[in-house]
Every structure is written in C-alpha cells, then in structure tokens.
Amino acid sequence: MQPSYHTVYEVAASGYAPWRLGLAFLFCAVALIWWRRSLRAQGAVRHWITRAVILIVAAGGIIAATYEPASRGQLRDILDKGSYQTIQGVISDYTVADPAHNVPEHFTVQSGDAAAHFTFILRPNSPGFHDTKASGSPLHAGTCVRLAVVGGAIGRVEIADRC
C-alpha cells in the first residue's frame, strides 16, 4: 500500500508575509502624510527636495516589502512547469547545525528504489526549503519524505504518514 503524503512546504504557496505588506502600507501612509506637510514648506528648492526624498522613501519601503529574490521566482516557475526531480525516501542522517564550528544543518535521503542517497544542506539564503531545527523544521531522522528538487534547491517537501 502506498503511503499518503501531505505537503509541509511549497515554494509557490510561500508568499509575502503579512507583516511585509503592512510595512509597505505603513511606508506609503508615512510618505503621504509627509507629502501633505511638505506642501506647507517654504521655498521652491526645499519643497522639491523634500518631495523627492518622500518618493524615494516610499519606493524603498514598497520594494523592501515586496522583494522576492529572482532565484525563488525561477524555482517557482520550474515547479509550475513540472520539470523537477522527485526524490522519495527515508531521512537517514539529520545533522543539526553547529554555528560554533561552521557546520550547516544537513540531511540525507536514502532512496530505496535506486539504492542512492541525496544530501541536502539547509542554508538560510536558499531559494527553497531551508527551515532548520531551530526555526521549527518538521524533518528528522526516520521521516519518509518526497522532495521536489531543482538544482539542489528544495521546492516542495511532502511527509508520509507512515513508511
């Protein structure tokens, strides 16, 4: 009987955090209030410099709140097209990160059908799944997983109810 999998991470479903959109709204609100107050400023040069600064601050806030790395967008596009490698197996080795010794968190998936193993290093700047034990990763040794992988980046993580 085939194990049933449930998705715990999908790069396409991991959108903007609500606080980031709130941040964009806050920057725009502050910029509008500042813009309104700048109308009362004396002097033409000061008036236009103030408005230019307001626009730059508002644009910077919106960019910071809605920024998505290109690599994450590319990973999402590849998964949507279906051109990814599926790795299915049991996590046989899960090593928790040791920042004192510069050891990153990593795990190995033993694939039963191909008698192969795949090692994944979880880096915080990875475009895909990079949750560590410290940040609440649901993965541990002995877990049956199915991963959608593109060039070492994990775009989808599914965990089986049983092995």
% of the chain surpassing 90 pLDDT: 6
Task: Classify residue 134 by its DSSP letter.
Answer: G
Residue 159: its pLDDT value, please?
94
**Arithmetic mean of pLDDT, 2-10:** 86
**Arithmetic mean of pLDDT, 82-94:** 88
pLDDT of residue 123 exceeding 80, the answer is no
Per-residue pLDDT band for 39 (boundaries 50, 70, 90) equals low
**Arithmetic mean of pLDDT, 25-45:** 70
Q: How far apart are CA 2 and CA 45, in angstroms?
A: 72
pLDDT digits (tens, 9 = 90+) for 56-79: 877 877 777 666 666 777 888 888
Which residue type occupies 39? L
Are residues 65 and 24 in contact, defined by beta-carbon separation less than 8 angstroms? yes
Edge-to-edge strands, sheet with 153-160: 5-10, 153-160, 144-150, 85-95, 105-111, 116-122
Residue 158: its pLDDT value, please?
94
Q: Which residues contact 7 (CB under 8 A, 6 or more apart)?
A: 156, 157, 158
Residue 147: its pLDDT value, please?
92
pLDDT of residue 115 exceeding 80, the answer is no
